[in-house]
Amino acid sequence: MPSDTPQPAFVLVRPQMGENIGAAARAMWNFGLDRMRIVAPRDGWPNQKAVAMSSGAGRLLDEAQLYGDLEGALGDRTFTFATTARQRDMTKPVYSPERAMQIAAQKVAAGEQVAVLFGPERAGLENDDIARANAIISVPVNPQYASLNLGQCVLLTAYEWMRQVGDVAHETHEIGNKGDWATGVEVEKLVEHYEQRLDEAGFFWPPEKADSMRLNLRNLWSRVAMTRADIQMLHGIMRQMVRWKEKG
């Protein structure tokens, strides 16, 4: 059974190749989507090439709903987006994928039934298909090469959906098994260690520039995100350099 997570239905309109249906299923599954509807697939359904290409998303294909026409596929929908990379002479709002999925998330959260249409590989959705949509998703692509693979278009839209409803970390710093982040006290001890040894080596010269050099060095340490293992290693490096110098 499909998940209970509220989400839009991704509708593949007259897809031509089983491989591309499988790639679309894989892309949807990557981002937590499992409501696929397939309208009049050229090579029939089910399709073993789609299963082979889905790479673990076979359950999604097993539960995909098959329709003979687009009217049936949209019968229970309250709002529909149509994806296209080409200009269409239609009076409809046109959104980027990001903005479209923001709106989709709002509508789904409000209990609406949303669909996103994806056209066949050769030429995309026809004007009659788009006429049934409430809004257009226009993918900003190279105008000299505007064709998107079906799986790519589904992946792009599914990713934008996940960005709106998922907990997306835009920047992380991973810590390995050897430790965690260094504390302020540990960093300060490292700074003191280096300043002391560098002072003994005559690094802070001439005297009138010593204060600014110390400040620059302290700023350097503050810009570096260090773990406790990093701190220990840097202490060890300085100690070894001092030992080597004393041996000489």
* Residue 70 lies inside a defined structural domain of this protein: yes
Judgement on whether residues 27 and 134 belong to the same structural domain of the protein: yes
Q: How many CB atoms lie within 10 A of CB 151?
A: 22
Q: Is the pLDDT of residue 33 over 60?
A: yes
For residues 30 and 108, what is the distance between their CA atoms, to the nearest angstrom? 20
Q: Tell me how many domains the chain contains.
A: 2
What count of residues does the chain have?
Answer: 248
Specify whether 84 is located in the same domain as 206: no
- For residue 99, what pLDDT band results from cuts at 50, 70 and 90? very high
Lowest mean pLDDT among 12-16, 40-44, 113-117, 219-223: 219-223
Is 198 part of a structural domain of the chain? yes
Question: C-alpha distances in angstroms, 51 versus 10, 22, 27, 227, 248?
Answer: 17, 6, 13, 45, 70
Bridge partners for 227 per DSSP: 181
CB 135 within 8 A of CB 187: no
Residue 3 belongs to some domain of the structure: no
Percentage of residues in the chain having pLDDT higher than 70: 92
Q: Are residues 44 and 157 in the same domain?
A: yes
| Same-domain check for residues 153 and 190 | no
Q: Quick check: 92 and 138 in contact, CB under 8 A? A: no
Residue 52 lies in a domain: yes
d(CA 30, CA 65): 19
CATH number, residue 227:
1.10.8
Q: What is the pLDDT of residue 8?
A: 97
Q: For residue 177, is it within any domain?
A: no
Is 197 inside any structural domain? yes
Mean predicted confidence (pLDDT) in 146-167: 89
Contact 90, 63 (CB under 8 A): no
Q: Identify the weakest region by mean pLDDT among 18-22, 109-113, 241-245.
A: 241-245
pLDDT > 70? residue 112: yes
Give yes or no: residues 160 and 61 share one domain.
yes
Which CATH number characterizes residue 109's domain? 3.40.1280.10
pLDDT of residue 55: 81
Residue 247 confidence (pLDDT): 75
User: Both 57 and 102 in a single domain?
Assistant: yes
| 101: amino acid identity, one letter | M
Which range of residues forms the domain containing residue 223? 184-247
